[in-house]
Structure 1
Amino acid sequence: MKRALIVIALLIAAAAGVGVALVLALNFRDESPLVADTAPFTPQQVARGEYLARAGNCAGCHTERGGVPYAGGRGIATPFGTVFAPNLTPHPQHGLGGWTAALFWRAMHNGRSADGRLLYPAFPYTELTRVTREDSDALFAYLRSLPPTDKPNRPHALGFPYNTQAALAVWRAAFFRPGSMPHDGTHSAAWSRGAYLVEGLGHCNACHTSRNALGASSGIALGGGLIPIQNWYAPSLSDAREAGVGEWELPKIVALLRSGVADASRGGSVTGPMAEVVTGSLQHLSADDLLAMATYLKALSRHEVKNPPAPAAVMAQGGQLYKQHCVDCHGEDGEGAPPAYPPLAGNRAVTMDSPANLVHIVLEGGFAPSTPANPRPYGMPPFATVLSDAELASVLSYVRGSWGNGGAEVSPLDVARLRK
């Protein structure tokens, strides 16, 4: 809230012609000067760029459903309107045909377009600023190798003042500063590589952190947060109650990243937006990079707290509904039938503080990602038309408070808000 007030004050000042120089100065701080391209790209750079594009899941945003890869057009909904991902193919008018590697690096590192305009942080330059110039050049080499597609870029659908460069300049002055990954020599090479992939190229913090009223990261890095508009909760990657893996063995972390399915002793599988990440990115990474990510994630801090169970009446109603709708797949004691049906007892996806993902899964159903390690995943049927808000809240409260689980009660209001 404090930083949001600062932004509002700066915007008012800029609109009044006061403090414009300060806003401009803050927008250019730590920006690297443009360095001219020195040599043609090599086949090795192109191949590495293709791999890096997978690691960053670039196609996930820059490919419209059913469209040409990297030709843009996909709408990214934000609380301020819709931002449309641009065409990244080398088309001379609509894509990157007129760009240089130096201009592409400036977009990645400083969040500026080829003409110097400020880019919207729906393009996660707030994290991609940590990507090295070498990797940026390889990415650009790969994108320039694609067939050009003459698909025009769609204008963003944003309301005032969010559609102005002045508002972006104020936002950046308060919330963005170009940076890089620190190299302090106190960690292993695997940890450092994992930190680079998680915090930089993989831009995991773009989802796994809370946001303030102006869309900037406001919580602990990788500490979990609700994804705006979608209302899916990206769990904390450092908290043992959510998605922290400090107690896991490295091979089991690697297996989860690659397949989207946890080891039978841990239970569960990824769903929602994370299933797209496994499908489009993680399953294609090398064994060394997955091990590096696992090493970094395992080293994050962790703690565990249990909540009191829901009232007896809620637990009784939820228990009856569980026997009616859930027990055939998930078992009387929540033991499940891995790998087909995940256990609910001891499953952190069930007990994390936010019930958002659990509500979505029960309302909408769905599947784990299809990967070589799990080519034909079993599905979860939707219950949106079967259970009322109060019934769904009670059965989820029962699941979150039974078999040693320590999740908090889910209220009918929680379900109503997420159902909407």
Structure 2
Amino acid sequence: MTRRVVLKRVALIGLALAALAAIVIGRNLRDEATVPEPAAPLAITPQLVERGAYLARAGNCAACHTARGGAAYAGGRGIETPFGVVYAGNLTPEADTGIGRWTAGDFWRALHNGRSKDGHLLAPAFPYPSYTQVSRDDADAIYAYLRTVAPVRQANRPHALRFPYNTQAALAVWRALFFEPGSFQPQPGKTAEWNRGAYLAKGLGHCVACHSPRNAFGAIADGFEFRGGLIPMQNWYAPSLASPQEAGVADWPTPQVVGLLKTGVSPRGSVMGPMADVVYRSTQHLSDADLQAMAVFLKDLPQHDTAPREADHSADHSADDALLPQGAKLYDKHCASCHGDQGQGASGAYPPLAGNRMVTMNDPTNLVRVVVGGGFPPTTAGNPSPYGMPPFGPLLGNDDIAAVISHIRNAWGHHAPTVSPQDVVRAR
């Protein structure tokens, strides 16, 4: 195929996208042309600011909009996606580079419609598909709080997205396919507490953004909300919140669910990786009533089965015959002193491995990440000095890490498939 033919086809595709986008953008502009403003200017009271600060923590806004070592809410943090890097915006009330000239209506439109003050479409790395459910009153409260943070003059960095994902036309098409502005609708027949938990988990908490699989276009797979998914570019697996074999809590006592969200640890497990950051920055600061509501909602999610795949013993597994004994020796040498010779763990310090569902999940990514890189549960008021896991990546090679993980996945009554050195390389 000649270069001229290729360029011609690219141009035709571009024209088709532009035509479709023009239709979609025109429709969106008609739907979103008017930014609703209150009849009177928003009265920013101390009570409203305090409520907004609380809601901003519930939404974990600072996690993305504060760069490492940077000023709070000044933006600049790069968020890697499969389509390139999106840089979070400056939310401080600085007039020229922040949102100092934004009205409360502008801010609500960004959350509700995914559209900036000047009308351009926002990249859905900003989770407006979830935030569209945030109420206007809550949006106004967050806006009021952001007006009180220290203004920082820091220009927003342009996104580094690949073509065509860096075009407004592509975003318009994406929205037409996968996004529709909405609002939270309380579910009849459910308690006020359940509906509050659903509002927090689906809206401000945007739990589905991580705990759901995504399609090839980066949108949450329809009908699979909360069913677990690999977090794009972070290479951590956010387990299903609706599966008893992964992170479902339907059979947990409610106080244990509340405790996990508040402290990061519970008798049935602890959080690490990206979820540790969520607990540290967000959920530990929520009220007991809101945590209780979230627990009630999460316990009531429709369940689906993701039973761990049994190890296949019908084929020739001569390699496993050497792998598992090697892993047992490595476990005795490096792991048993903390996790126990029978994987029983140490109460209040090191989690048990025997019967631990993270150990036997179909996707071993998180287990590999923890063994390779180590980590800590979050430091919280309820767990101020968490015990951590040292990184074994610098000490053990891929073969040894695969061996010890395979042993753990097949010891103490476990029957999960072994992990190969290639699996370790992919998860590193």
TM-score band, normalised by the shorter chain?
A: over 0.9
- The alignment partner of 1:82 has SS state of strand
Report the CA distance between 1:13 and its aligned residue: 7.0
> Please, which of 234, 238, 241 is the counterpart of residue 237 of structure 1?
241
Q: How many residues matched?
A: 407
The structural deviation recorded for 1:248 is 0.3
In structure 1, what is the Cα distance between the partners aligned to 2:393 and 2:20? 52
Question: 2: CA distance between counterparts of 1:42 and 1:21?
Answer: 42
**In the alignment, residue 242 of structure 2 is paired with which amino acid?**
S
Q: Can you list the C-alpha shifts for 1:65-107, whole angstroms capped at 9, x where unaligned? A: 1211111111111111111111111100011111000110100
Q: Is contact 1:223–1:235 with CA below 8 Å preserved after alignment?
A: yes
Q: Which amino acid aligns with 2:302?
A: S
Shift of 1:16: 6.1
Pair 1:304–1:226, CA change in 2 (3 A)? closer
**Structure 1 portions without partners, runs of 5+:** 1-8
What amino acid is the match of 2:289? D
Cα deviation, residue 183, structure 1:
2.0
Match of 1:357 among 344, 359, 366: 366
Shift of 1:387: 2.1
What is the CA distance between 1:25 and its match in structure 2? 5.2
Q: Does residue 68 in structure 1 map to residue 71 in structure 2?
A: yes
Aligned to 2:6: none
Q: Is the 8 A contact 1:111 1:125 kept in 2?
A: yes
| TM-fit CA distance, 1:41 | 2.2
C-alpha contact (below 8 Å) 2:374/2:388 kept by paired residues: yes
What displacement does 1:390 show? 2.2
Q: Which of 182, 185, 198 is the matching residue for 1:182? A: 185
Tell me the equivalent position of 2:257.
253
Question: How far apart are 1:21 and its partner, in Å?
Answer: 4.7
What per-residue deviation string (whole Å, max 9, x for no partner) do you get for residues 253-274 of structure 1?
Answer: 00000000122xx2x3111111
Contact 1:359 1:418 in 2 (8 A): yes
Match of 1:3 in 2: none
Q: Compute the TM-score of the two structures, normalised by the length of structure 2.
A: 0.91
Instruction: Tell me if structure 1 keeps the 8 A contact 2:327–2:404.
Output: yes
CA 184–370 in structure 1, closer or farther in 2 if over 3 Å, else same: closer
Instruction: Provide, for residues 325-345 of structure 1, a one-character-per-residue CA deviation record: whole Å limited to 9, x for no partner.
Output: 111111111100022111001
Of residues 394, 404, 414, the one that matches 1:385 is: 394
Is there any run of 5+ residues in structure 2 with no aligned partner, and where?
A: 1-9
Separation (CA, whole Å) in 2 of partners of 1:372 and 1:329 = 24
Give the conservation status (yes or no) of the 8 Å contact 1:30–1:177: no
| Two-structure CA RMSD over aligned residues (Å) | 1.9
> How big is each residue's C-alpha offset from its partner over 1:207-245, in whole Å with a ceiling of 9 and x where there is no partner?
111122221112610111111111011111011111000
Residues 232 and 357 in structure 1, CA contact (< 8 A), matched pair in contact too: yes
Q: 1:151 to 1:344 in 2, by over 3 A?
A: same
Q: Percent identity over the alignment?
A: 57
* Cross-structure match for 1:79: 82
Distance 1:346 1:214, change over 3 A: same
Runs of 4+ in 1 over 6 A off after TM superposition: none
The match for 2:332 is: 323
In structure 2, the partner of 1:165 is 168
Which residue number in structure 1 is paired with residue 25 of structure 2? 24
Deviations for 1:120-144, whole angstroms, at most 9, x for unmatched residues? 0111001100100010010001001
Query: Please, what TM-score do these two structures have when normalized by structure 1?
Result: 0.92
Could you say if the C-alpha distance between residues 174 and 286 of structure 1 is closer, same or farther in structure 2, counting changes exceeding 3 Å? same
**Structure 2: distance between partners of 1:324 and 1:218:** 43
TM-aligned CA deviation for residue 324 of structure 1: 1.8
1:260-409 → structure 2 map (5 Å cutoff)? 260-263=264-267, 266=268, 268-302=269-303, 303=305, 305-309=307-311, 311=317, 312-313=320-321, 314-409=323-418
